[in-house]
Structure 1
Amino acid sequence: MSPAIFIDALQNELQRTPYGQYPPELYDPIRYIMSLGGKRMRPLLTLMAAYLFTDDWKKAIRPALAVEVFHNFTLMHDDIMDQAPLRRGQPTVHEKWNHNIAILSGDVMLVKAHELLLDVEADKLKPAMTRFTRTAAEVCEGQQMDMNFEKRWDVTEAEYIDMIRLKTSVLLGYALELGGLIGGADDETNAHLYAGGVNIGIGFQLKDDLLDVYGDPAKFGKQVGGDIIANKKTFLLIEALEQATGSVKDELIGWLTHPDFDKAEKVRAITTIYDQLGIRQITEARINSYFAQGFANFEQINADPARKAFLLQFTRQLIERES
């Protein structure tokens, strides 16, 4: 079995899935954001989780696409709230059209995600929908926490981890849990799939925080240094505020509180402070810890060893990517 088989099956379904035609301003942005690509890791993990337990993994394709449509809906709305200019190296929907169109098109994507989930077999539909609505609410909770943090300077590391767990990681956990549910896995196995996805997801988000500062713009696909410019409470900033003392802390607070600044200069200065405090190394250690926890969860899954090895290998490849 090759990942290309799952990728091709998902891409074919993406291409033939209709969203609507009129008014074009409502539906063109959906086709646009869905065409920008991305890793597609959530729906692919849904398919691979189903394949762990059944040869009929194709019955998970449309539900897997539901996860991807929902994920892109959250990105479209998050970009508005973050005033982000780029998504996957291209203009965000609200930049290419406008804020109101992006809001309404995102709403239609949420509706479409529910419609796609209706393809889950009848005896598994209620748990699939129940877990989906729980996850969707948690994603919104995480986003609200993230916005609340913008007005606070006392955000703790524990609060931040809980926020990213809700905002980004529970959907990765659901993607794997959904595949297991469709494939016929038992509740204990699905719990391991979910926990593994959540831990891997936290690791991914911490890595995203790290790449925002230290990533290659050509590979990262977003504005490097954007979190620093926006004073976003990332793991790196929270850790720096805790670690810094004396003149270093004074300089850091100065950059965070000064209303007028040169963006490039601020990014360079705060990055230098991170270097002085060893924030990169601290973050990398925490990333590796969550990835290790996730793989430990996956190891507890009772499935065909070859198929489980396939899932583990694919997940490791995702982890090693720099975008």
Structure 2
Amino acid sequence: MKTFDEITQLISSEIEQINWSKEPRGLYEPIGYVLSLGGKRIRPALTLMACNLFSDDVQSAMNTALGIEIFHNFTLLHDDIMDRADVRRGRPTVHKKWDDNTAILSGDVMQIASYQFVTKTPEKYLKKTLDLFSKTAAEICEGQQYDVDFESRDDVKADEYLEMIRLKTAVLLGAALQTGAWIGGAGEEDAQLLYDFGINIGLAFQLKDDLLDVYGDEATFGKKIGGDILCNKKTYLLIHALELAKGNEAEELQKWLKLDNEDLSDEKILAVTSLYNRLGVDTICEDKMQYFYSKAIANLEKVEVLDNKKHELRKLAEKLMFRND
């Protein structure tokens, strides 16, 4: 069994060999740039790790894994435009380094490239892999639309938010694991359990992201702390704060939500964070994160392979749960 570090080294090596030095440079150079920024490579790693549970030949799932990673990075290019995000992984986003049109068009090419890699999946598993990949791609767009819709709503419920992050984040983790399991030769029950493991880890992962955006260290998180607060993003924390705040606390929260003064950005972050602390929404978020993490581990335990083979996936789940970036 390969370790997570060994798997990510293999993936990084393969990504470095992809030639983006093509014309027109203005189209392909941003793709090489964003893929060179690294990231955790979690999604392609999950594909190969799931494959490795059932087969020693992880290379057979490499093209599928690369397609999933390129697709994920394509979504980031477009998300960063929609969110007006300036920084990704500690570096300028593509739309800031170039412009919006470049990020849109380069992202489009990345989506096409992702399918070109996924179509190299071994023929035996190609149709169901493509079907799942296409279904997942549509679900991610649905999740993004819900996220956009939530911006103009003040009545978003916690369950709606969880469904949004399931679509926007978790389904790609689930698909990465399920396709890797198929290519490794897993039965349908084990492949489904790994999909469910990915869904639950994805939900816990996004809740952790919500926490880190408020309570993380900017030096390790890779983007500005408090960004969600500044743009009034409907996170699990804010949704619960809106439900729990009463009287003076509700008035104070609404005052900061209505504020549109960049000069008071730091004050807004401090004030809303203080409200979160008083309302205990950080603990509510941590408890829900632990709930999904426990469900994920229960899914993994049921997969019918030797227990020691699941060690790396358990370790990765724990790392994602307790990460600081």
Q: When the two structures are superposed, what TM-score results if normalisation uses the length of structure 2?
A: 0.97
Q: Which residue of 2 aligns with 1:128?
A: 129
Code of the aligned partner of 1:134: K
Q: Tell me how far 1:284 sits from its aligned partner.
A: 0.7
Q: Which residue of 1 aligns with 2:33?
A: 32
Please give the alpha-carbon distance, in whole angstroms, between the structure 2 residues aligned to 1:171 and 1:178. Answer: 10
Q: Which residue of 1 aligns with 2:95?
A: 94
> Structure 1 residues 20 and 134, CA, compared in 2 at 3 Å: closer, same or farther?
farther
Q: Which residue of 1 aligns with 2:18?
A: 17
Unpaired segments of 5 or more residues in structure 1? none
Task: Give per-residue Cα distances to partners, 1:182-232, cap 9 Å, x unaligned.
Answer: 101111111101111011001000110010000000011011100000010
Task: Give per-residue Cα distances to partners, 1:16-48, cap 9 Å, x unaligned.
Answer: 112351110100100011011111111111110
Q: Which residue of 2 aligns with 1:285?
A: 287
Task: Give per-residue Cα distances to partners, 1:267-292, cap 9 Å, x unaligned.
Answer: 01100100111111111111111111
1:167-182 equivalences under 5 Å are 167-182=168-183
Code of the aligned partner of 1:315: A
> Bigger CA drift: 309-318 or 36-45?
309-318
Q: When the two structures are superposed, what TM-score results if normalisation uses the length of structure 1?
A: 0.98
Please give the alpha-carbon distance, in whole angstroms, between the structure 1 residues aligned to 2:113 and 2:20. Answer: 8
Code of the aligned partner of 1:290: F
CA contact 2:205–2:320 (8 Å) conserved in 1: no
Please give the alpha-carbon distance, in whole angstroms, between the structure 2 residues aligned to 1:257 and 1:88. Answer: 29
Q: 1:274 aligns with which of 276, 300, 309?
A: 276
Please give the alpha-carbon distance, in whole angstroms, between the structure 2 residues aligned to 1:319 and 1:313. Answer: 10
Code of the aligned partner of 1:208: D
CA contact 2:170–2:202 (8 Å) conserved in 1: yes
Q: Which residue of 1 aligns with 2:76?
A: 75
* Segments of 4+ moved more than 6 angstroms: none
Please give the alpha-carbon distance, in whole angstroms, between the structure 2 residues aligned to 1:287 and 1:20. Answer: 42
Task: Give per-residue Cα distances to partners, 1:151-204, cap 9 Å, x unaligned.
Answer: 000000010000000001100111111110110111111110111101100100
Please give the alpha-carbon distance, in whole angstroms, between the structure 1 residues aligned to 2:107 and 2:221. Answer: 24
Q: Which residue of 1 aligns with 2:241?
A: 240
Please give the alpha-carbon distance, in whole angstroms, between the structure 1 residues aligned to 2:189 and 2:318. Answer: 23
Q: Which residue of 2 aligns with 1:202?
A: 203
Please give the alpha-carbon distance, in whole angstroms, between the structure 1 residues aligned to 2:38 and 2:10. Answer: 15
Q: Which residue of 2 aligns with 1:297?
A: 299
Q: Which residue of 2 aligns with 1:137?
A: 138
Q: Tell me how far 1:254 sits from its aligned partner.
A: 1.0
2:102 partner SS: helix
Code of the aligned partner of 1:174: A
Aligned residues: 323
> Structure 1 residues 98 and 164, CA, compared in 2 at 3 Å: closer, same or farther?
same
Q: Which residue of 1 aligns with 2:316?
A: 314
Code of the aligned partner of 1:209: D
CA contact 1:13–1:62 (8 Å) conserved in 2: no
1:159-238 equivalences under 5 Å are 159-238=160-239
> Bigger CA drift: 223-232 or 302-311?
302-311
Please give the alpha-carbon distance, in whole angstroms, between the structure 2 residues aligned to 1:95 and 1:288. Answer: 36
Code of the aligned partner of 1:246: G
2:54 partner SS: coil
Q: Tell me how far 1:317 sits from its aligned partner.
A: 2.2
> Bigger CA drift: 90-99 or 111-120?
111-120
Please give the alpha-carbon distance, in whole angstroms, between the structure 1 residues aligned to 2:145 and 2:45. Answer: 28
> Structure 1 residues 259 and 318, CA, compared in 2 at 3 Å: closer, same or farther?
closer
Please give the alpha-carbon distance, in whole angstroms, between the structure 2 residues aligned to 1:214 and 1:164. Answer: 20
Q: Which residue of 2 aligns with 1:152?
A: 153
Please give the alpha-carbon distance, in whole angstroms, between the structure 1 residues aligned to 2:5 and 2:139. Answer: 32
CA contact 1:19–1:112 (8 Å) conserved in 2: no
Please give the alpha-carbon distance, in whole angstroms, between the structure 1 residues aligned to 2:298 and 2:178. Answer: 16
Q: Tell me how far 1:308 sits from its aligned partner.
A: 1.4
Unpaired segments of 5 or more residues in structure 2? none
1:104-119 equivalences under 5 Å are 104-119=105-120
Please give the alpha-carbon distance, in whole angstroms, between the structure 2 residues aligned to 1:170 and 1:191. Answer: 12
CA contact 1:43–1:67 (8 Å) conserved in 2: yes
Please give the alpha-carbon distance, in whole angstroms, between the structure 2 residues aligned to 1:84 and 1:178. Answer: 31
